[in-house]
Amino acid sequence: ALLVLGRPFGFVAMLGVIALNGMIIRNSVILIDQIEQDRARGVPDWSAIVESAVRRFRPIVLTAAAAVLAMIPLSRSVFWGPMAVAIMGGLIVATVLTLLALPAMYAAWFRVVRPHEEEESRLHSMPPADAAPEGDPA
């Protein structure tokens, strides 16, 4: 965002990136904690991931939008402008990645498969229905 708007990446912009990291981590912890709570209640892993992302969509987007809108008046400032632009641009991108990429990375990391894929893998590992059981002369 700084490059697009032609703003310098100085010390104040670096402070904005540090603050941005805190906001991103907070949103990620909120989403991961919701997934873990759902899994602890016995919700299947895939459903816990999807439902948590849907359930936390509004709170994460609204807090990010509030932070971005709060930075708009600062973005015109010569001194605080680079910090505001760094936070605004980074938070917009990070919010999208938190809601889309984080659940996908969670599922990949813990090897969570979709329910219909589990059924297909079980069906492929089972012998055919017309096969005779072992030890039964046919």
Render each residue's pLDDT in the chain as its tens digit; 138 residues: 666 767 767 888 889 889 999 999 999 999 999 999 999 999 999 999 999 999 999 999 999 999 999 999 988 888 888 889 899 999 999 999 999 999 999 999 999 888 876 555 554 555 555 555 555 555
pLDDT value of position 128: 54
Q: Is 123 a domain residue?
A: no
For 18, phi and psi rounded to 5 degrees? -65, -45
Q: Is 114 a domain residue?
A: no
Q: Is 34 a domain residue?
A: yes
* Number of domains, the chain: 1
pLDDT value of position 102: 95
Q: Is 132 a domain residue?
A: no
pLDDT value of position 137: 54
| Domain region containing 97 | 2-109
Q: Is 131 a domain residue?
A: no
What tokens does 131 get? 């096969």
Q: Is 83 a domain residue?
A: yes
Q: How many CA atoms lie within 13 A of 98 on its CB side?
A: 27
Q: Measured on CA atoms in the order 110, 114, 118, 124, is the torsion positive or negative? A: negative
Q: Is 120 a domain residue?
A: no
pTM: 0.73
pLDDT value of position 115: 82
Q: Amino acid identity of 95?
A: T
Q: Is 121 a domain residue?
A: no
